[in-house]
């Protein structure tokens, strides 16, 4: 049933009635019971000579059950908190489910560790059973970590020590950066006041050049003032990773990322090299943008400058129509699946006090609708965000038939549907727009997005690699980080863009470096893959549609290469990545033709 707010807010009633719903306690209690029974019934029996397919399947089903019991309250608590973080009831529920979840994780940790120890010949024998085979990808993915996994006691001890080690530095970084207060005179205001970092960064899109530079300088200089703590967080996280590589005997620093992302080291290196070979393409765009802005010199604070001061406003209803129509032009099913989010109260639209910033799509579990959160303010970027998040949403809706372990796409595939959704929207807008000025803006926005997800993420990954390698020789000083950062950026910008002096601190606020190792190359992969898929669509027309929908419906049940092969995509083909940049070249030529007209 939908509530009165269903049109612009979430209807969470299919989950619970509210934070005080007694069913939450019941579910959490049965979660604890299930975890205890699970440990009693299966511990020591998976890593055993008597393991049969039946026993493993029974254990997997139990494991699935208990995960679901815990995930519903866990996800519900996250949704409530992101919708409004102020009420104590929301904070308390989140803290409670987190603690419980961590206790339960300790209790059931044995299961995945025992799966790693199953003898390979026996494991292959078990996979011949059709019921066990349904979990094959999950099991194989897990077992890929086997050579680097330590005993249960050591793993538990490491997990506990992480709280005061790695996680403490992540926490310190988070607390420090979210406590930073910036004093700034906002455009149109007479006096200085306190503003947030988000507000300053959003001014990079401001039409006035001086405002953009002043805002970013204020933001970066505040980070420079905190160099001591920020550098210490980076140094310790880098050292922690080096110790992890040593302890687990990973062959190289990126191995754990490759294992979780199901990527081949050679393939990723090739992808980044091809990206670097195409840096001149980005430089060509920067120079064109400089001319469009009428500037003599392009600074890095001009990269996201709008082309016209007056921005077009789009009502949310209009945005809904635009996105759904653009999806419908591709596939009626895609459009219907996306439209269900509006009808069923699964989108929280408006900015509100206490609501989390940005946008996301929470995938929930098979059998439960995903939820989309937006902070819709009516500009064209917000319409793109809607297309992006609904792309994620439809990806989850189409994966509903997968089991819990195969429901989420693997990291590099996770942005496929979202970025593809944005592409459909851009193409739809371009096709229906008459005003060449608006078309130019749309193409620039698309190219800037692509540059941010491919070239910039490659710069980030190269910086991270360089920092990890240098850490092996000892502590890095703040200047060391600044130098590595400036060097990598200079390779991308060439002579086309001048970096403002404080930009040397640009590394210090990027939370990807703090939260995960080498996460950023996944964006490059995702973007280039979508460009390739879109190219296939242009070549094959409607015949491509069912194959694309089938790709999405597979969730994370196979590895990227296996899923992409039926679409004629071979990731090992050295030319594959260049084709992505050929598509970017196509967009750039399209833009030039409009500009020259």
Q: Which residues bind Zn ion (CB under 5 A)?
A: 418
Helix (H, G, I), strand (E, B) or coil at 498: strand
Q: Find out whether 351 and 344 touch, Cβ atoms under 8 Å.
A: no
Rank residues 78 and 270 by Cβ distance to Zn ion and give the closer one.
78
Rank residues 235 and 418 by Cβ distance to Zn ion and give the closer one.
418
Residues 6+ apart with CB under 8 A from 140: none
Rank residues 70 and 393 by Cβ distance to Zn ion and give the closer one.
393
For 180-226, where are the alpha helices, taking DSSP H only?
197-202, 209-225
Rank residues 79 and 417 by Cβ distance to Zn ion and give the closer one.
417
The whole-angstrom separation of Cα 572 and Cα 264 is 9
182: which DSSP letter?
A: E
Q: In whole angstroms, what separates CA 225 from the centre of its chain?
A: 29
Nearest C-alpha neighbor of 536 from the set 561, 560, 573, 569 = 569
Helix (H, G, I), strand (E, B) or coil at 569: coil
Q: How far is the CB of 411 from Zn ion (least distance, A)?
A: 11
| C-alpha distances in Å from residue 159, one per residue of 38, 142, 151, 363, 563 | 21, 18, 12, 26, 34
Residues 6+ apart with CB under 8 A from 329: 424, 428
Rank residues 445 and 497 by Cβ distance to Zn ion and give the closer one.
445
Rank residues 289 and 395 by Cβ distance to Zn ion and give the closer one.
395
- Residues 265, 268, 269, 270: what is their CA dihedral angle, to the nearest 10 degrees? 120
Rank residues 418 and 457 by Cβ distance to Zn ion and give the closer one.
418
Q: How far is the CB of 304 from Zn ion (least distance, A)?
A: 19
Rank residues 278 and 384 by Cβ distance to Zn ion and give the closer one.
384
Q: How far is the CB of 348 from Zn ion (least distance, A)?
A: 16
Q: How far is the CB of 362 from Zn ion (least distance, A)?
A: 12
Rank residues 402 and 418 by Cβ distance to Zn ion and give the closer one.
418
| C-alpha distances in Å from residue 292, one per residue of 73, 436, 452, 499, 597 | 51, 13, 19, 19, 13
Question: Which pair of tokens denotes residue 525?
Answer: 């992969």
Helix (H, G, I), strand (E, B) or coil at 106: helix
The whole-angstrom separation of Cα 332 and Cα 330 is 7
193: which DSSP letter?
A: E
Q: How far is the CB of 131 from Zn ion (least distance, A)?
A: 34
Q: Find out whether 316 and 378 touch, Cβ atoms under 8 Å.
A: yes
Q: How far is the CB of 414 from Zn ion (least distance, A)?
A: 7
Q: Find out whether 462 and 485 touch, Cβ atoms under 8 Å.
A: no
Query: Residue number with the shortest CB distance to Zn ion?
Result: 418
Greatest distance between any 2 Cα atoms in the chain: 77
Burial group, residue 575, by CB count within 10 angstroms (0-12, 13-18, 19+): exposed
Rank residues 67 and 418 by Cβ distance to Zn ion and give the closer one.
418
For 262-315, where are the alpha helices, taking DSSP H only?
265-277, 279-293
Question: Which pair of tokens denotes residue 519?
Answer: 């996460």
Strand partners, 195: 182
Q: How far is the CB of 392 from Zn ion (least distance, A)?
A: 6
Helix (H, G, I), strand (E, B) or coil at 27: helix
Alpha carbons within 13 angstroms on the beta-carbon side of residue 63 total 24
Q: How far is the CB of 441 from Zn ion (least distance, A)?
A: 23
Q: What share of the chain is helix, strand, coil (3-state, %, to 5)?
A: 70, 5, 30
Residues 6+ apart with CB under 8 A from 294: none
Q: Find out whether 114 and 122 touch, Cβ atoms under 8 Å.
A: no
Q: How far is the CB of 516 from Zn ion (least distance, A)?
A: 15
Q: How far is the CB of 316 from Zn ion (least distance, A)?
A: 20
Q: How far is the CB of 444 from Zn ion (least distance, A)?
A: 21
Residues 6+ apart with CB under 8 A from 573: none
Q: How far is the CB of 15 from Zn ion (least distance, A)?
A: 23
Rank residues 48 and 356 by Cβ distance to Zn ion and give the closer one.
356
Rank residues 281 and 390 by Cβ distance to Zn ion and give the closer one.
390
Q: How far is the CB of 360 from Zn ion (least distance, A)?
A: 8
Rank residues 231 and 385 by Cβ distance to Zn ion and give the closer one.
385
Q: Find out whether 275 and 577 touch, Cβ atoms under 8 Å.
A: yes
Q: Find out whether 525 and 412 touch, Cβ atoms under 8 Å.
A: yes
Rank residues 302 and 449 by Cβ distance to Zn ion and give the closer one.
449
Q: How far is the CB of 393 from Zn ion (least distance, A)?
A: 11
Neighbours of 272 (CB within 10 A): 20
Q: How far is the CB of 398 from Zn ion (least distance, A)?
A: 16
Rank residues 231 and 418 by Cβ distance to Zn ion and give the closer one.
418
The whole-angstrom separation of Cα 76 and Cα 12 is 8
């Amino acid at each position: 049933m939908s509530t009165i707010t269903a049109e612009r807010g979430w209807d969470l009633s299919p989950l619970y009635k509210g934070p005080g719903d007694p069913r939450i306690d019941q579910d959490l209690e049965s979660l604890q019971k299930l975890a205890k029974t699970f440990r009693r019934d299966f511990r020591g029996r998976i890593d055993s000579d008597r393991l049969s397919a039946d026993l493993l399947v029974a254990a997997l089903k139990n494991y699935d059950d208990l995960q679901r019991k815990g995930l519903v309250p866990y996800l519900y608590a996250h949704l409530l908190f992101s919708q409004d973080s102020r009420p104590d009831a929301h904070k308390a529920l989140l803290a409670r489910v987190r603690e419980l979840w961590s206790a339960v994780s300790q209790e059931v940790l044995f299961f995945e560790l025992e799966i790693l120890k199953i003898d390979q010949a026996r494991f292959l024998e078990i996979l011949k059973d059709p019921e066990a085979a349904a979990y094959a990808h999950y099991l194989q993915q897990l077992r890929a970590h086997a050579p680097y996994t330590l005993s249960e006691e050591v793993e538990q001890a490491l997990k506990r020590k992480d709280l005061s080690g790695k996680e403490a530095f992540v926490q310190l970084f988070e607390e420090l950066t979210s406590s930073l207060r910036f004093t700034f005179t906002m455009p149109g205001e007479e006096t200085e006041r306190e503003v947030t970092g988000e507000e300053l960064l959003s001014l990079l899109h401001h039409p006035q050049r001086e405002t953009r530079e002043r805002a970013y300088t204020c933001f970066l200089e505040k980070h420079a003032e905190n160099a001591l703590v920020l550098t210490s967080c980076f140094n310790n996280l880098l050292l922690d990773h080096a110790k992890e590589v040593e302890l687990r005997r990973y062959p190289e620093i990126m191995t754990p990322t490759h294992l979780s992302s199901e990527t081949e080291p050679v393939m990723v290196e090739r992808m980044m090299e091809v990206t670097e070979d195409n840096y001149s393409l980005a430089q060509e765009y920067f120079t064109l943008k400089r001319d469009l802005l009428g500037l003599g010199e392009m600074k890095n604070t001009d990269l996201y400058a709008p082309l016209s001061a007056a921005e077009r406003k789009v009502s949310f209803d209009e945005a809904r129509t635009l996105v759904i129509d653009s999806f419908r032009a591709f596939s009626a099913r895609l459009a219907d699946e996306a439209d269900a989010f509006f009808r069923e109260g699964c989108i929280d639209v408006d900015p509100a006090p206490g609501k989390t910033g940005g946008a996301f799509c929470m995938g929930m579990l098979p059998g439960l609708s995903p939820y989309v959160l937006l902070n819709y303010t009516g500009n064209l970027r917000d319409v793109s965000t809607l297309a992006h998040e609904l792309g994620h949403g439809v990806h989850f809706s189409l994966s509903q038939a997968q089991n819990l372990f195969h429901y989420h796409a693997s990291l590099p595939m996770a942005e496929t549907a979202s970025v593809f959704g944005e592409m459909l929207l851009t193409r739809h807008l371009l096709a229906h727009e008459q005003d060449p000025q608006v078309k130019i803006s749309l193409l620039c926005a698309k190219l800037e997005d692509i540059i941010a997800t491919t070239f910039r993420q490659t710069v980030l990954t190269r910086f991270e690699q360089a920092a990890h390698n240098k850490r092996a020789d000892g502590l890095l000083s703040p200047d060391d980080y600044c130098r590595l950062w400036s060097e990598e950026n200079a390779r991308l910008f060439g002579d086309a863009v001048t970096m403002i002096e404080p930009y040397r601190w640009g590394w210090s606020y990027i939370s990807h470096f703090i939260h995960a190792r080498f996460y950023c190359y996944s964006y490059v992969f995702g973007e280039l893959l979508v460009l390739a898929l879109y190219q296939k669509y242009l070549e094959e027309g409607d015949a491509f549609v069912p194959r694309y929908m089938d790709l999405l419906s597979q969730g994370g049940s196979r590895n990227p290469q296996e899923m992409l092969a039926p679409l004629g995509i071979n990731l090992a083909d050295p030319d594959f990545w260049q084709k992505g940049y050929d598509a970017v070249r196509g967009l750039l030529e399209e833009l030039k033709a409009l500009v020259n007209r």
